[in-house]
Amino acid sequence: MGVRGLKSYIEGNSLFLKDCYFKGSKIIIDGCNLFNSLYHKSKLDLKHGGDYYAFEILIKDFFKALKNCNIKPYVILDGGCDHTGKKLETLKKHARNRIQIGKDLSLGGQIPASRAIKPVLLKIVFKQILIHLKIPFVHCMEEADWEIAALANQWNCPVLSDDSDFFIFDLKAGVLPIKHFKWKKGLQKSIPTKIFFVSDFCECFNNMNKQLLVTSLPLFAALAGNDYVNKVTVRGSFSWEQFSSCSGYHARLDGILHWLSGFPNTKKAIGAVLGLLGDQKDRDPVQKVLTACQNEYKLTNGNLAQFFLNGVAPSRLPVELQVLPGWIRMPLYEGKMSLIVIEALVLQRAHLSSQVENFDLPSSNAISRPIRQVLYGLLLSGQKQRDDRKPSVARVDPGECYVEEHDREGLSLSTFWVKAACPASRKNLHLETLNKV
């Protein structure tokens, strides 16, 4: 998820972030955000496949600093798998951007670290280091933001992340932005940092009632636009900037927040948003979008406490993921199995990562396609082709399945239909009992 511009907006106002010295507590770490941030800020190699030895030393030093300050880390890694398919267009857009960035890097171009694509094995190496250091971690099967926020509230400890979504969740113990987490200076048994609390945020908007802002922030995310929701467009010459107390890049976000602070409750605010729409026919879909966005940020007890405390695989799964056999679930959570199995099994689709390479040659993913073909065969043996995954280039016979792979072709993002093919000796190979074969 994430609201574009919100992170820099909050960091640009000293009233939103407070100084603190952090020590002697649990901390929930947004793992993917951490390793990407540390890698890029350390200016490690981006053009030649990854400087993994230097990365290993960096991660070990980071967790040593936490240990010196008696901080107990729990790392949650984002699944990166959109099992619902609702982020498909966003994923495609990001993939196209990565292809172009990879091309620019391959020709010696200078790309800002915040935009550069990460080495493809970075997450795998990070997990190996966590295992070596005995740092508790879990690899979520889906978007991790909600689970991170839910566990932090359940344990009343802060979240360490630079993801702007954590400024939207109502986190009891606050958010520690990685940018301000000076772990290299943690020599006096505490780490100097800055912390964000929703209550401090409220004070800057007419001392808005905290409960109103908590319920309005998801509405703000919908109006501002995030990965799931396109910006809600209002009619005519209406401009959010007219309500802003600042000018420039952040005026729109500031204006939305000030506008929302003028309502006594969220219901009134939603009614006002709907009133800004030109036609009645536009209102029902927008109301559904606003409601869905509010649900995305509503926190209850999550799935992961029992995993960390008792080594028990979370039992509550989205409907789409309940097709996963029981024996697959724990290895997925433990990071011992690739999450491509979820995309292939649930969506009959796979998004393949691009990297810095010779873009005049075929994608480096092409050489391993026969291996993935067998993987798809083992996963999809006996399944029917989804109606929305009918390959246009092949006739699908009964009992056959194809997986829709998204990979680069030249500088374009293309679709490759890969037939799920079990090994020749496929006798008695069934997904439910494959672990016993």
pLDDT score of 128 more than 70: yes
E strand or H helix that includes residue 159 = strand 159-160
d(CA 116, CA 43): 11
When pLDDT is averaged across residues 131-155 and rounded to a whole number, the result is 93
pLDDT score of 356 more than 70: yes
When pLDDT is averaged across residues 70-93 and rounded to a whole number, the result is 83
Residue 425 binned pLDDT confidence (cut-offs 50, 70, 90): low
115: buried, middle or exposed (CB in 10 Å: 19+, 13-18, 0-12)?
A: exposed
Distances (CA, A) of 429 to 10, 324, 339, 381: 54, 16, 21, 8
Residue 50 binned pLDDT confidence (cut-offs 50, 70, 90): confident
Half-sphere exposure of residue 92, counting CA atoms within 13 Å on the CB side?
13
Share of the chain above pLDDT 90, in %: 42
- Quote the pLDDT of residue 214: 72
Residue 413 binned pLDDT confidence (cut-offs 50, 70, 90): very high
d(CA 152, CA 174): 9
d(CA 398, CA 152): 48
- Quote the pLDDT of residue 301: 84
**Could you tell me if 418 and 343 are in contact, meaning their C-beta atoms sit under 8 angstroms apart?**
no
Mean pLDDT rounded to a whole number for the chain: 86
- Quote the pLDDT of residue 115: 75
Extract the tokens encoding 180.
Answer: 């301000």
d(CA 191, CA 168): 24
Residue 236 binned pLDDT confidence (cut-offs 50, 70, 90): low
pTM: 0.90
Half-sphere exposure of residue 223, counting CA atoms within 13 Å on the CB side?
26
**Could you tell me if 220 and 9 are in contact, meaning their C-beta atoms sit under 8 angstroms apart?**
no
pLDDT score of 232 more than 70: no
What is 79-142 written as a DSSP string?
A: ----TTSTTHHHHHHHHHHHHHHHHHHHTT----TTTSPPPTTHHHHHHHHHHHHT--EEE-SS
pLDDT score of 371 more than 90: yes
- Quote the pLDDT of residue 224: 82
**Domain boundaries along the sequence of the chain:** 6-202, 206-296, 317-436
Q: How do residues 177-200 score in pLDDT, each as one tens digit?
A: 999 999 987 567 899 999 999 888
Q: How do residues 6-44 score in pLDDT, each as one tens digit?
A: 999 998 888 899 999 999 999 999 999 999 999 988 888
DSSP 262: T
Q: How do residues 250-309 score in pLDDT, each as one tens digit?
A: 898 999 888 888 888 888 888 888 887 766 676 777 788 788 788 888 888 888 999 999
Q: Which CATH number applies to 6-202?
A: 3.40.50.1010
What's CA 406's distance to the chain center, in Å? Answer: 19
d(CA 373, CA 230): 35
- Quote the pLDDT of residue 415: 93
**Could you tell me if 88 and 351 are in contact, meaning their C-beta atoms sit under 8 angstroms apart?**
no
pLDDT score of 81 more than 70: no
Share of the chain above pLDDT 70, in %: 90
- Quote the pLDDT of residue 1: 55
